[in-house]
Structures are given as C-alpha cells and as structure tokens.
Amino acid sequence: MLRIANLSVPLDYTDESLRLLAARKLKLAPERMKSVTLVKKSVDARDKGDVHFVLTVDVRAEGEDDALRRLKPGTATKVSPKAAPPLLRAAFRRPPLVVGAGPAGLFAALTLAQAGARPILIERGRPVEQRVQDVEAMARRGRLDPESNVQFGEGGAGAFSDGKLTTGIKSPHLRTVLETFVRHGAPEEILYLQKPHVGTDLLRGVVASMRREIIALGGTVLFETRLTGLLLRHGHVEGAAVVQAEEEREILTDTVLLAIGHSARDTLQGLFRQGVRMVQKPFAMGVRIEHPQGLINRSQYGRFAEHPALRAADYKLNVHTPDGRGVYTFCMCPGGEVIAAASQPGGVAVNGMSCHARDGRNANAALLVGVAPGDYGDDHPLAGLVWQRSIEQAAYRAGGGDFRAPVQRVEDLLGGRATTRLGEVQPTYRPGVTCADLRECLPGFIIDDLKLGITQMDRQLRGFAHPDAVLTGVETRSSSPVRLPRGAEGMAEGLDGLFPVGEGAGYAGGIVSAAVDGITAARAALERGGEG
C-alpha cells in the first residue's frame, strides 16, 4: 500500500476525481488503481481566495513497488497497517473494579472485558439516556438540580460531552479508540478528519453501546453507586467501600482502576484522608466566549463561507502575556451551546458542547488563563480544589442563584464596567443568565489577561473582540488541579493494586488522551495479573 500526503483538492472534489489525481501522482493508469482510502482530511484556509482541502490517501494498486521506484523521493511512501500489541488473558483472583464511566473508565473496563476479566464498572450517575432526559426537563423548568450530576460527577464522559477527538499524544492505541467509537455508532469520518468530532447527540448512543458490550462480555455496571473509600491492608488494596441506592456495601478486589474524572471532589477528599498521595498541579481557568457562528465562518473562510462542503468553522488561538501565564482558547464548539457543568450545590461552572451537525446560531469556546499552584493560597495538596470551588461559589452569587450564570459583553469587560444589557449575541446557557461584572467572581490577574488576550486574538481572528460577544462565567474545569503520582507500573505510589487513571488523576486532557490512558492502565493491570 502506498501513501500520498498533501494532496490539494478543490472543495467540490469527487471520489472519481480523487482516484484520477492519485493515479497521476503515482504515474499509473487509472485502471490499475484498486482502492483509494482517505487517511486524513483538513481545510486549508490560509488564503481566503483559495480555500481547499488537503488530503492524505492510502492507495492499493497493481505494480506498487515498480511505481514507487519510478517516483521522485517523497512523492509516496510504502506503508503497512500497524496493530496494537495483543491483549493478555486475564488472571485476576477477583474481578477488577473500575471506578468512573468516563472515557478513561469506559475504555479501561472494555479492555479488561475483552481480556476476559469480567470487570465491575461503577457509574456514579444514572444511565446516560436517563440523565439526558432529567437534565433537559430541569432546564425547561428553569432550574438545575446539583444532585443530578449535571455534567460529569464521578467518572467523566457524562451525558453532555461534546465528543471532540483531537489530541496531540502519540500512542499505538489511538486507532483503537477511534475504531471503537465507530464500531459503537460514531461516524466513520472520525477515522480521517483532522479534527474528528462525534457530537453530543451521537455520543450518548456510543456510550450506551460500549456499556452493553462490557456487559455482554461478562462485565457488571453499577449505576448510582458512589465510592466512599478503599479497603487497604499493609499498603495493598483489598477492596472498596461503596454506597449503592443508599445502602453501604463492600466490593472485594485487589485491583482498582480509579477513573473518577476531575470533578469528584468528595471522592478525592476521602481518598486523601485514607493516605492516597496527591500533589498540586497547574491548570487553567476563565470563561466561555460566544460569537455568531456566521461571523466565525466569514472570518475563517472569506467568500467560501457558505460553501456546502465546509462545516461550521472553528478556531484555536493563543496569546503570550507579560506575566507568563498565557491566554488560549480550548474546546471550541462550532454551532454549539454553553452548558451547565456544576456538580455541587451553590456553585456555577460552565462548559461547551455541540451536536454532530454543529448547526446552532452561536460558536463558543473556553477562553482560559493559566494558573499555577502558587495561586492557590496554600500548599495543601487539595488547595486547588478549594480555590476552584470558591470561584464557582462567587459565580453562583454573581448569577443571582438558581444556577443562572453571570455574563458580560466583551465591550464591557474591555471597558471595565458591568453589563446591563445584551446585544446581538444572545447566550445559549440554560437555565438562564444574569448580566454582571465578571470581576465579582474571577481574580484580577485573570481579568487582566483576558482583556489582553481578547484584544490580541482579534488580530488573529477578525471579529473576535466583537462588542456584543458574550463571556459566560466561569470555566474552571479545564483539567484537574490535582495529580495522583504513580510509579513505573502505573500504580499509585505506595499502594499496590490502585491504578489512578485519566483526567481526575492528572494524566489526561481530553477524551482521546483519557481513553488511551484507560487502555494503558487496563493493560498494566493485566500484566500484573491481579496478584496480591
């Protein structure tokens, strides 16, 4: 198989035109082409007068080796499929326990199930299908119940994850993650798009399908179950204490994969009291910024903005600041919504999502400023969680209570005044917003860097500093402010049998990286074999 990279094609290219182009590149007669498979597809919009696609394709053809010898070096390369190492068969004395059903937990449990381990998977909330119905009903009533685990609660992927699958990591398990998503209902295009995206509407079904496979392979899924502590003996894990349907019970196991996500503060506090080692780590904090999606399309695509082959435009921006913190956009949601991510009473936290079609009126993205342990005000390992919580509580007060979020127009933020009315951009956050001054809930250094960042980002993306663009506070859950150190075998330092995994453990920053970490942890647990 031959791979051809950097093929520039017009927006209206067809499969046949691509096949003929690949044949010309390889200097082969079209009839000798057996197949052309899309490997990567991206948009090149650097020249607004010539927006086009750039493709990488794999070609199977007659006479590949002869063709390769005739071509100039670099025109094509010989490739062969690479597979992840085979799974060991499970040899646990008791079924391993996976705590948390986000991307890390789901992929860890699925990997263990595929190896015959019959894992037990704990999901703190109700099944994703039911939580979607609950939260949508609460939003219609104009209130949100903090006990409903609106966003993730313990474990992570929850009902409203956006399904963005871009990542900067390198791993032999990346293809496994993408192919697993496709096998469970995600669109096949995620296998080749440069910025693959499933969408909240489709991801719900994917999560449910993965859960069904885990059960079909002999695994058990416990819903509405909360980890309250570990059963430890002389530095070894012997089980876990949980509460299920308001009843306390113990699960005996010598292998626990802890994939609780970055919002399970009560679980982290309980584990810290038991002696699980934790350290502070930096993260980022800020707001969600919303613009009209049409403005972003025009800024990115120029006269091609309405071309049917182009999807809603996205962006990724960053600015260096004099204080060294930096301002950047993250988790950009074209045609999406700003959503509630609260997981405790009396606090407001926001996130973003978009459905697969990305056809909403607004674009939104996290606009974040880097924060470091020195900002937390204390050297306690959990000080970042406390500081994070205090800012969410301030946002709750600024929003007026009942989980409304404080919002401010960009023009008002830059002018140093409270917002009293909204303009062209209407916020998408439910259950509602309150015009406010974000200085009431965010530290002064974050406000200062946001001002600088917005001004400079407007030079990178025309219209970013649109006066009526809306800033919704607060985005505090970009990643965890805590890390659970782990040793060479992937286990928590000083605790045999405990595998900290994913974002909540401080080792991932998105769906794919968390999923890969879950697979890696499951394989490490299989290597260990469940020996006590």
Q: pLDDT tens across 38-60, in order?
A: 999 999 999 999 999 999 999 99
User: What element of type H or E holds 134?
Assistant: helix 128-141
Other Cβ atoms closer than 10 A to 532: 12
Which is nearest to 210 in space by CA: 174, 186, 226, 244?
186
- Give strand ranges (E) for 161-234: 220-222, 225-233
Q: Which two tokens stand for residue 164?
A: 């963005």
240/21 Cα distance (integer angstroms): 59
Positions of the chain with pLDDT under 50: 146-156, 158-160, 530-532
Longest CA–CA separation in the chain, Å: 72
pLDDT at 139: 53
pLDDT at 137: 62
**Residue 262: its pLDDT value, please?**
85
* R_g of the chain, CA atoms, integer Å: 24
* pLDDT for 19: 96
State residue 500's pLDDT score: 97
What pLDDT, on the 0 to 100 scale, is given for residue 162? 79
pLDDT at 529: 78
Tell me, what's the pLDDT at 245?
85
Residue in the structure block whose two tokens are 């399309």: 297
Torsional class of 209: left (φ above 0), alpha (ψ -120 to 50), beta (otherwise): alpha
Q: Can you tell me whether residue 130 is helix, strand or coil?
A: helix
d(CA 446, CA 284): 10
pTM (whole model) above 0.75:
yes
pLDDT (tens digit per residue) in 157-171: 544 467 899 998 999
CATH numbers and ranges of domains, the chain: 2-76 (3.30.70.2700), 97-278+484-528 (3.50.50.60), 280-475 (no CATH)
Question: DSSP E strands: which ranges in 161-235?
Answer: 220-222, 225-233
Tell me, what's the pLDDT at 104?
A: 96
Task: Give all strands of the β-sheet with 327-333 in edge-to-edge order.
Answer: 318-319, 327-333, 362-371, 283-292, 470-475, 405-409, 433-435
